[in-house]
Amino acid sequence: MQIGFHTDAFNSAYWSFEQCLQWAEANDVHFIECGLIDGVSWIHGLGYQPHVALYEDPAVLRRKMERYGVSFSQVDAAFPLSGSDGPLRGVPYVQKSIAWAAHAGSPCVDTTDGLHMPAGLTEDESLALMKRSYEQIIEVAEAHRIIVNIEPHGHFTTRPEMMAHMLEFVRSDYLRMNMDTGNTFISGRDPVAFLRRFLDKVSHVHLKDVSKSLAAAKLGGQTGIAVSACSLGGGVNAGSIRECLKLLKAAGYAGVLSIECEGAGGPMIEASLAWLRAELAELAELG
């Protein structure tokens, strides 16, 4: 298993994407994940946002990343596809991201639903919209040979029976799942049981711990955590993460474990990196 991180760790530090590359190089991390921006953002243009715009040439960016010894594990195009604007805005955004990812050397594109039940729609209507959306998305994904992951993050995707249904929207090897230990936990699910059910569908993993205070306030009451304000191993989800790592190792998972926590300019994500490396080393010793 390889270690990576999501650049949203450095949102609050107002870092640029290149600063994230520098952090990766300095900490011997070789995989990175970032959000994709479809258009122009002033804060991104000024160098205060650690994500990448689709107007940036992907081949030129890939060459820059190679100089830092870093490559994409996944790019994040998680516009919620469950609402009425999913087909209008989400589908072309994801399709464009897939073609961009192919040139950038990213094997995966991340997608999801909305945090809440869409207003004005029934669950059946929302599922029908998403099914049609994923049919159109996967057609492009298959052409470019890019995996589209569904991440548990919202009203539908954090419910195992709904995730199972969504993963059958299209019969394709290019529709898979991005496991998230923090989102499954805060939604009131057991991350270990969730992972076990979908182990054969997992192609990318987000590792998030959950602080004791957040769990006390929100457990079972929300479906996702934007960025965990808790380092890996420092929260109430550490035991579940440890068990998930054992499951992944036993299954022969050889993909990326992408750290998602507040970077705060370095200290918290560095603590997460040290904890994860120690856990993987212990797993390796156990054989």
- Block mean pLDDT (10 aa), the chain, length 287: 96 95 97 97 95 98 98 98 96 98 98 96 97 98 98 98 98 98 97 98 98 93 90 96 98 97 85 97 89
Residue 207 CA to its chain's centroid (Å): 9
Cα–Cα distance, 106 to 134 (Å, whole number):
19
Q: What are φ and ψ of residue 51, in 5° steps? A: -120, 180
What is the model's pTM? 0.96
What stretches of the chain show up as alpha helix (H) in DSSP?
17-26, 42-45, 58-67, 91-104, 123-144, 160-166, 181-186, 191-198, 212-218, 238-250, 267-286
Q: Are 70 and 28 contacting, i.e. CB atoms less than 8 angstroms apart?
A: no
Bridge partners (DSSP) listed for residue 108: 147
- At residue 226, the pLDDT reads 85
Q: Which two tokens stand for residue 274?
A: 């040290």
- At residue 286, the pLDDT reads 83
CA angle at 157 for the pair 193 and 257, rounded to the nearest 5°: 60
Q: What are φ and ψ of residue 210, in 5° steps? A: -135, 125
Q: What is the DSSP letter of 118?
A: P
DSSP string of 142-177, one letter each residue: HHHT-EEEEPS-STTTTSHHHHHHHTTSS--TTEEE
Cα–Cα distance, 125 to 84 (Å, whole number):
9
Taking the alpha carbons at both ends of the chain, their separation in whole angstroms is 14
The CATH homologous superfamily to which domain 2-286 belongs is Divalent-metal-dependent TIM barrel enzymes (3.20.20.150)
Q: Is the torsion defined by CA of 151, 266, 42, 70 positive or negative?
A: negative
pLDDT in tens, 170-180: 999 999 999 99
Cα–Cα distance, 185 to 121 (Å, whole number):
27
Cα–Cα distance, 143 to 182 (Å, whole number):
32
Task: Measure Cα distances from 287 to 1, 122, 124, 195, 275 in Å.
Answer: 14, 49, 46, 21, 19
Question: What SS3 state is found at 80?
Answer: strand
